[in-house]
Amino acid sequence: MIKKTRPHITQNEPLLFEISSPGKKGYQLPELDVPAVDATKALGAGNVREQIEGFPEVSEVEVIRHYTRLSTWNYAIDLGLYPLGSCTMKYNPRINETVARTEGLAWAHPYQPEELSQGAMEITAVLEDMLAEITGMDAVTLQPAAGAHGEMTGIFLMRALLQSQGNPRKTLLIPDSAHGTNPATATMAGYAVQNIKSNDRGFVDLDVLAKYVTEDVAGLMITNPSTIGVFEENITKITDLLHSKGALVYMDGANMNALVGMARPGDFGIDVMHLNLHKTFSTPHGGGGPGAGPVAVKKALEPFLPTPRLRRSQENRWSWDYDRPQTIGRVRAFYGNFGVLVRALAYIMAHGGDGLRRATMDAVLNANYLRKLLEPYFDLPYNAPSMHECVFSDTRQVKQGARTGDMAKRLIDYGFHPYTVSFPLIVPGALMIEPTETEGKRELDLFADALISIAKEIEDDVEHVLKAPHLTRTSRVDETAAARKPIVRWKPSAEA
């Protein structure tokens, strides 16, 4: 029984280009208070464009209706549970949106005089300190724009340290449960990838690992808790092993929501790691970004951090230090996704140290509660204790003809965003469920009910599940057709 949704009318809406008509206006500029300039004269005729072919012309009311209508076609955290495993889709406090728009912050130009940027620099410095405290690391750069960007930065840092010791080495070891960004990053850093098979409990196999750790190995990229949501029981042995061979350990911090306030990577031997502020620290995903991927390092790696670095004078004034001879260089212009950093700091301030710990505890409680409720109905391929997420396999349902992707689509009818489908790769047909701490018992119970009900539907009427979703304005979308002959921009129908 579907308890959580009822169908309701939603407005159709054409593309912006299809409601455009010449001469409609959504803007007005102030009257020009200087003489107009003849563009052809100023720029040369060849440099001046014709009108922008096909560009929309709509009025203000059409703009707001267009996007408001479109918005009603989306699911969102603000509407309900969004249990995408590995994505940590938690509540995005609105106060953070407000403070990020504080005038002196939102309108600060990155090149305005340092004397007139002290507030922004202070925020940056405070956040660096707090992230160092949370991770147990020695220094933090806030420059990377997202997790993958942080990975690149972190691996470059490792490489720079090894290089400074005379040999950057050749290979990065990456467990087969890792996220795709890990191997992709290795390539960008000029490293070969050696996959490490997980053992049958989902952990890195120490013996297997030991075989691969040679003098050619630059390091290990590990995710802890791993992508199946378990804490690597041998983590200190693993880091010791790598260190004993002069290699370093990078931690993908995507799953820090399981650890904040409870355990610190710096304390279990991690050399460098990134955080996803858009996961653990609640900055909004916004349909795909922006994020921020700060990188935290141990002392030995600090000299290599991207420039510029913050420096505090004796008079307690901040300045940017560009004179860092060993730096790997910038990974982006300016100082990072500052607006995202503001939101993350506001989040940390709201929780405080104790609140962060309690958030972690609730996140882990929620995942284990769901695991407990769902275990009778779904196959749990790895039964090591779960942290912030739990991963089931569709093996039982596949026997009746429905895969994880089908159940995911049917969940939509039940009023939920699906879990992460088919990742991590080590789980056949994975259902990767991460509720986060910002879900109450009621929403979790409804979710478990829904999945259990779907499991029953599969026994009774698998076809119904295979054709889901049934209650959305857009039924199952043909992704194959989209990729076969890509249409990636609108064209007027005459042209088409």
Partner 1 sequence: MRYLPKSESERREMLDVLGLDSIEDLFSHLPEETKLNRPLNIAPGKSEYEIVEYFRARGNENAMNYASFLGAGVYNHYRPVMVDTIVSRGEFLTSYTPYQAEISQGTLTTIFEFQTMMCQLTGMDVANASMYDGSSAVPEAAMMAVRVTGRNRVLVSRTVHPEYREVLRTYAQHQGMPVADFGYVDGTGAVDLADLEAQISAGDVAAVVIQTPNFFGMVEDVKTAADLAHKHGALLVVAFTEAVSLGLLAPPREADIVAGELQSFAISPSYGGPYAGIIATKEKYIRQLPGRIVGETKDTHGNRAFCLTLATREQHIRREKATSNICTNQALIALMATVFMSVYGKEGLRELAEQNLAKAHYLSEDMDLRFRGPFFNEFVIRTEPEALNAELLKHNIIGGLPLGRFYPELEGCMLVCATEMAKRAHLDQFKKCADAVGQPAMAAARNEGARA
Ligand X SMILES: Cc1ncc(COP(=O)(O)O)c(C=O)c1O
Residue whose token pair is 């660096």? 128
- Give whole-number Cα distances, 21 to 6, 12, 25, 209, 492, in Å: 37, 19, 9, 64, 13
Q: Which is nearer to a second copy, 336 or 418 (CB)?
A: 418
Cis before 225? omega within 30 = yes
217 binds partner 1 (CB under 8 A): no
Instruction: Tally Cβ neighbours within 10 Å of residue 18.
Output: 11
User: Bridge partners of 430?
Assistant: 393
- Smallest distance from partner 1 to CB 210, Å: 18
Beta strands 217-223; 248-252: pairing state: parallel
Are residues 252 and 223 in contact, defined by beta-carbon separation less than 8 angstroms? Answer: yes
DSSP 362-377: HHHHHHHHHHHHHTTT
403 binds partner 1 (CB under 8 A): no
Q: Which is nearer to a second copy, 304 or 414 (CB)?
A: 414
Q: Which of 80, 136, 289, 290 binds a second copy (CB under 8 A)?
A: 80
Q: Which of 139, 146, 433, 451 binds ligand X (CB under 6 A)?
A: 146
Alpha-carbon torsion 312, 314, 317, 321, what sign?
negative
- Taking residues 415 to 454 in sequence order and writing x for each that binds ligand X by CB under 6 A, - otherwise, the string is ----------------------------------------
Of 233, 182, 238, which is closest to residue 210 (Cα–Cα)?
A: 238
Of 377, 379, 398, which is closest to residue 451 (Cα–Cα)?
A: 377
Interacting partner of 80 out of ligand X, partner 1, a second copy, none (Cβ under 5 to 8 A depending on kind)? a second copy
Distance, CA of 331 to CA of 323 (rounded, Å): 16
Instruction: Tally Cβ neighbours within 10 Å of residue 170.
Output: 14
Distance, CA of 369 to CA of 455 (rounded, Å): 18
5 binds a second copy (CB under 8 A): yes
- Smallest distance from partner 1 to CB 414, Å: 12
Burial class (CB within 10 angstroms; exposed 0-12, middle 13-18, buried 19+) of 143: buried
Interacting partner of 392 out of partner 1, ligand X, a second copy, none (Cβ under 5 to 8 A depending on kind)? none
Interacting partner of 39 out of partner 1, ligand X, a second copy, none (Cβ under 5 to 8 A depending on kind)? partner 1
Rounded to 5 degrees, what angle do the CA atoms 438, 126, 107 make?
Answer: 85
Q: Which is nearer to ligand X, 238 or 450 (CB)?
A: 238
Find the binding residues for a second copy in span 344-383 (CB under 8 A): 350
SS3 297: strand
Interacting partner of 5 out of a second copy, ligand X, partner 1, none (Cβ under 5 to 8 A depending on kind)? a second copy
58 binds partner 1 (CB under 8 A): yes
| Three-state helix/strand/coil letters over 171-195 | EEEEECCCCCHHHHHHHHCCCEEEE
User: Bridge partners of 141?
Assistant: 295
61 binds a second copy (CB under 8 A): yes
Structure tokens, 251? 């931690």
Stretch that binds a second copy, among 29-37, 111-119, 401-409, 469-477 (CB under 8 A): 469-477
Structure tokens, 77? 């955290």
Q: Which is nearer to a second copy, 31 or 50 (CB)?
A: 31
204 binds partner 1 (CB under 8 A): no
What stretches of 136-252 show up as alpha helix (H) in DSSP? 147-164, 181-188, 206-212, 235-244
Of all helices (H) and strands (E), which one includes residue 291?
none
252 binds ligand X (CB under 6 A): yes
Rg, C-alpha atoms of the chain? 25
Q: Which is nearer to a second copy, 80 or 308 (CB)?
A: 80
Q: How many residues bind ligand X (CB under 6 A)?
A: 13
Stretch that binds ligand X, among 108-116, 145-153, 207-215, 316-324 (CB under 6 A): 145-153
Q: Which of 1, 30, 376, 493 binds partner 1 (CB under 8 A)?
A: 30
373 binds partner 1 (CB under 8 A): yes
Q: Which is nearer to a second copy, 184 or 350 (CB)?
A: 350
Cα-Cα-Cα-Cα dihedral of 106, 67, 60, 13, to 10°?
170
Q: Which of 141, 181, 327, 360 binds ligand X (CB under 6 A)?
A: 181
Find the binding residues for partner 1 in span 304-333 (CB under 8 A): 306, 328-333
Q: Which is nearer to a second copy, 37 or 95 (CB)?
A: 95
463 binds partner 1 (CB under 8 A): no
Find the binding residues for partner 1 in span 158-187 (CB under 8 A): 159, 179-181, 183-187
Residue whose token pair is 């076809």? 463
340 binds partner 1 (CB under 8 A): yes
Distance, CA of 402 to CA of 396 (rounded, Å): 9
Interacting partner of 223 out of ligand X, partner 1, a second copy, none (Cβ under 5 to 8 A depending on kind)? ligand X
Q: Which of 56, 93, 291, 469 binds ligand X (CB under 6 A)?
A: 291
- Smallest distance from a second copy to CB 91, Å: 4
Binding site for a second copy (CB under 8 A): 3-12, 19, 24, 28, 59-62, 64-65, 68-69, 72-73, 78-80, 91, 93-94, 350, 412-413, 415, 438, 440, 442, 469, 471-473
Binding site for ligand X (CB under 6 A): 86, 146-148, 179, 181, 223, 227, 252, 254, 276, 291, 293
